[in-house]
Structure 1
């Protein structure tokens, strides 16, 4: 039997089963119904909520284009500058604006109709992508005259796109408990992992092939076209006005959220461990150089390795059936991030081995690639993607079920700051360590740091390891 519920923000309605409860509220006893044990992902959230299904499908399609743009921007700047540090600065420049956007976006999601916030932020990101299309086409035209476009406009437009994506991400996550019952949240998180896996598999791989064959401007333009699907998913949502007292955006709302986080040790620790993983285990800024001088293969190698991480994410999500029966979410997160650190270190060893000349000569042509090194590196990236997805499923479920609705926007806003700023810090760490030492140093040292820090932090905060999803406490 499906879980009848009211579409968020509307009036009670009647149906075959009588009066429907508010959105996100389970029927009595629903959370205690024994879920059939399964190995593969549970599709119940898609059947239970057409609004969630439309949002999920649209986000998966538009996300493919977004991931294409992320890879294409890195390749564009590396092509223009030949510098790994300049590629890493794409994230570094966007860091402070993205932090502000996450905090402000979370307050917007708690104060206004979440559907409206999603629409406006998505349109802003789409406009930035159109700007990237124009800039890349201009650069391509200048090459024929022996000139290049300025680099800084790419940073500006990428920052605007990042800001919009941060606000959209925080708001979209806060929407989920309003259109799904609580006992389906972990399964929805697993489905979101599948969407992310599809984005990260198809998007980067397509970007690598498209850039190598038809060029950067058209690659950016395809993202602008795919945006339409995501926007239609947002338009299909019901109105989602605030429930209860409205906290208007401003200092008072921000301080109220800070007070909540001060008394929410489990949610706070979920942020901290994710920052550790992303700050020291983010090797993607190294990939243009890895594809050019270490493993070989050029842009295609960049796409393959990025897609390998997505394949790991996708496989972990497809085999996520048992998540409904895992209750020690904090323990699961700590173990998953420890495994993540081990795979990051493995990647560092592969790059070190190639730097020592164990793989023979390589080049930017796809025929001049070290297949053994590419295979092991792909395994490392797949392991990173799978372990990160397992961690993400349980972290997101903890936040959405332990936080009250009037705090979900601000909590998710802070979460988006963590999710988006952690990789930017990681890009800066990777770029700086690679420039000062070597390409193998950031993943090798970073992976070891992750393993040690997770062990120390989680043992210092025992309530995190003891967290039980059957009694969610922030």
Structure 2
């Protein structure tokens, strides 16, 4: 029997490990509040991917510069870093549901602004208005994403968190597969305004899912959202070497091995295509990620999770370097898909470590740091790739980035071997021993006289000193 109270009120049990390759979808079946939240986030992520791809294509169309495409990510990085740290502190101080509704509404306004500026021709000759909107969007996301991720452990039991991580990755990567494709097709068929209009429509789904939830303040009461709160979260992270290393190795992989800023130039210069070809390249990484997430069942049995993360990142770097050598578009897309599959395995296992390591009162701040890493790393990678390509060539930038990432990864793991020594089974046993409460079991169910749903609170209270064992990006 799966964890969580069944429909007849039976006591919960720990769910059996999946016996097949397929991902465990029981959280979607058994917890309606989590299901609506997941559906809303997936649809919203689809719209976000459409706009993110359309902005990169539009900047390249206006400037004809890969460096300017990379600069878009730098513009987004500054508010993301600051907002991720302080946004996570805000998440730990206020009602997370209300905060997510406010930030989602703000993001919808930004998408409407992308549409309006394009319709009136304000970005026909200059890319800076687009970059300004990207900065605002990034600042809002810095609070929106940690708030959503911090809610998930209160909607499902602890035993289902690895499965929920894989499901979040499936939703996000499905959006990554179809979003860029839709962007490429809609831009080619109807222009950039059509792509932005589709994104705007998608905001209805996440707002509906949030509206059906009850209030969800941090467990144990809110805390301050200032510098002291941020510092407390960073001190906690500093005392967790395995958790800290999961952030470091992901940064290395993304900073050196993320070539997406070069896709428009490679689509035209090497593969002889246009926006549709570039969209296919953006989607290829997500295709591999989606396949790996869909076949993620055996990952629950991986005991040496840290070592598996390192191996996955080595495969990522090697596939990216191979993509830089490819001259056939089919081979190039296959290598990008392989890279995406390796990155997905790394993401699922890194999330497994994060979920067990972090108590609820720290979850917003640690998710803020997580957001800075998983979104800031690729943006730094865009800048690095575009800068190297500007002084050499796009192909050299891709190849050197993949190989440099492997080299740096091996150096840091040799210097700090805690990650490759990490034992997931022992860490989970220690986490259970530390808990002062048995795993809770109440499933999220609709209130009889209200349209909201009360959250499940399945996690043990935990302390501030945790060993490490869970986006979901």
- In which range does the TM-score fall when normalised by the shorter chain? 0.7 to 0.9
| 8 A contact 1:60–1:199 mirrored in 2 | yes
Contact 2:21–2:298 (CA<8 Å) still a contact in 1?
yes
What is aligned with 2:389?
Answer: 434
Q: Distance in 2 between matches of 1:307 and 1:111?
A: 37
* Aligned residues of 2:75 and 2:134 also touching (Cα < 8 A): no
How many residue pairs match? The answer is: 429
Corresponding position of 2:254: 278
Aligned equivalents of 2:303, 2:157: Cα separation in 1: 17
Deviation readout 1:372-400 (Å, 9 max, x if unpaired): x1101101110111111111101111111
Q: Does the residue aligned with 2:418 lie in a helix, a strand or coil?
A: helix
Is 2:73 the counterpart of 1:79?
Answer: no
Contact 1:110-1:407 at 8 Å conserved across structures:
yes
Q: Is the 8 A contact 2:4 2:157 kept in 1?
A: no
Alignment of 1:382-397 (within 5 A): 382-397=337-352
Q: Say if 1:343 and 1:384, in contact at 8 Å, map to a contact too.
A: yes
1:245 shift after superposition: 4.4
Matched, 1:469 2:421: no
TM-aligned CA deviation for residue 106 of structure 1: 0.6
Q: CA deviation at 1:171?
A: 1.6
Superposed, 1:67-466 pairs within 5 Å as: 67-139=49-121, 148-350=124-326, 354=327, 373-466=328-421
In 1, Cα distance between equivalents of 2:208 and 2:299? 30
Distance 2:219 2:108 in 1: 29
- TM (norm. structure 1) is 0.87
Shift of the 344–312 alpha-carbon distance from structure 1 to 2, 3 Å rule, reads same
The answer to whether the 8 A contact 1:4-1:17 is kept is no
The CA deviation string for residues 33-62 of structure 1, in whole angstroms up to 9 with x for no partner, is: 542421111111112321111111111112
Deviation at 1:15, TM superposition (A): 7.8
Distance 1:401 1:331 in 2: 17
Query: Counterpart of 2:36?
Result: 54
Separation in 1, partners of 2:349, 2:209:
25
SS at match of 2:424: coil
Runs of 4+ in 1 over 4 A off after TM superposition: none
Between stretches 275-284 and 442-451, larger displacement belongs to 442-451
Q: Distance in 2 between matches of 1:415 and 1:118?
A: 17
Query: Following the alignment from structure 2 to structure 1, what is the Cα–Cα distance between the partners of residues 251 and 349?
Result: 15
Rounded Cα–Cα distance in structure 1 between residues aligned with 2:16 and 2:415:
34
Distance in 1 between residues matched to 2:342 and 2:2, nearest whole Å: 31
SS state at 2:121 partner: helix
Q: Give how far 1:149 is off.
A: 4.3
TM-score (norm 2): 0.87
Whole-angstrom distance in 2 between the partners of 1:442 and 1:435 = 9
Contact 2:3–2:160 (8 Å) recurs in 1: no
Tell me the distance in 1 between the aligned counterparts of 2:36 and 2:340. Answer: 25
User: How many angstroms does 1:2 deviate by?
Assistant: 4.7
User: In 1, are the aligned partners of 2:18 and 2:297 still within 8 Å (CA)?
Assistant: no
Residue number in structure 2 paired with 1:369: none
Once the 2 structures are TM-superposed, how far is the Cα of residue 240 of structure 1 from its aligned partner? 1.1
Say which SS state the counterpart of residue 4 (structure 2) adopts.
Answer: coil
What is aligned with 1:361?
Answer: none
Q: Secondary structure at the match of 2:103?
A: helix
Q: 1:136 to 1:460 in 2, by over 3 A?
A: same
Q: CA RMSD in A?
A: 1.8
CA drift of 1:468 comes to 2.3
